[in-house]
Amino acid sequence: MTDALGLRAVFSTLIPATNAMVEPDMSRLSPAGVTNQTYRFAFPALPATAQELTQLIEPTIELALACEPDRIIIAYSPEYMTDNNNAALHLRDFIAQRVTVPVTLAGDAVPNALDALNVKRIGLVTPFPAKANRNVATYFAMRGFTVVNEAGFASAQKGGVHSARISEQDVRDAFATVATSNADVLVQVGTALVCAGFVAELEAEHKKPVVAVNSATYWLALRQHGISDQFGGYGKLFTDC
């Protein structure tokens, strides 16, 4: 429920213990009267299945509910998995069976953002190797979108915190690569990859809307919660949608 600082909403966000990007990204996007509480689940290795992922998340759910939040945000999504669509459904059902407050899933965020921006052709940037990128492309295809170009950082799979060490310049260079395609939107997935803070700059440079998964997830949480604040500095999602 709301409190003395979260007069409009209190959000509890669940993230992997190794993820150093989600918390600062969502902090910078928080409008007045909305507070973010972060809860980390153990993340010894990249989960290959939804069952492995939910086993990691489950012990943290009770902690995330202890502050009586108005909404739970799951800031991790299974697009990279081979069976990603069923994994997404499993994750949704798993959370729904354990909480009674509203839930926002990162896996829903980018498709919802793309619909809001009315775009279909994606230039994709990820921290994943080629095989995982193909899985991501399939995930979007099942939702009516087409990945026309991609750039990934395959070495990000080597360590739990490696994605967070990929530099902003490297990510900007990856966007420059995919922006040369006939994509009508540029998309970044992988919640531990830096991006949310310079979305507006990327849009100005490449003349296309940019959707970063962390900012899209927080945007979706706000909109699902009936908070329609619009503000500059973070791209078209927050100025136009």
Rounded to an integer, the average pLDDT of 194-221 is 98
Residue of 130 and 37 predicted with greater confidence: 37
Which pLDDT score is estimated for 155? Answer: 59
pLDDT of residue 82: 93
CA dihedral 170, 165, 26, 77 (to 10 degrees): 90
Please give the mean pLDDT across all residues of the chain.
95
Amino acid 91: pLDDT: 96
Confidence label for 120 from pLDDT (cuts 50, 70 and 90) = very high
Distance, CA of 74 to CA of 15 (rounded, Å): 7
**Cβ atoms of 140 and 77 closer than 8 Å:** no
pLDDT at 162: 85
77: tokens are 């999504």
Percent residues over pLDDT 90 in the chain: 91
pLDDT of residue 171: 97
pLDDT for residue 175 is more than 60: yes
Cβ neighbour number for residue 7 with a 10 Å cutoff: 12
| Residue from 192, 182, 184 nearest 236 by CA | 184
What pLDDT score does 138 carry?
96
Reported as a single tens digit per residue, the pLDDT across 2-21 is 999 999 999 999 999 999 99
Question: How confident is the model over 25-49, as pLDDT tens digits?
Answer: 999 999 999 999 999 999 998 898 9
Are the beta carbons of 101 and 225 closer than 8 angstroms? no
Average pLDDT over residues 94-109: 97
List of domains in the chain: 9-107 (3.40.50.1860), 109-215 (3.40.50.1860)
Average pLDDT over residues 137-145: 97
Q: What are phi and psi of 135, to 5 degrees?
A: -65, -40
Q: What average pLDDT does this structure show over 139-145?
A: 97
pLDDT band at 181 (very low <50, low <70, confident <90, very high): confident
- More confidently predicted of 220 and 131: 220
Average pLDDT on 60-89 reads: 96
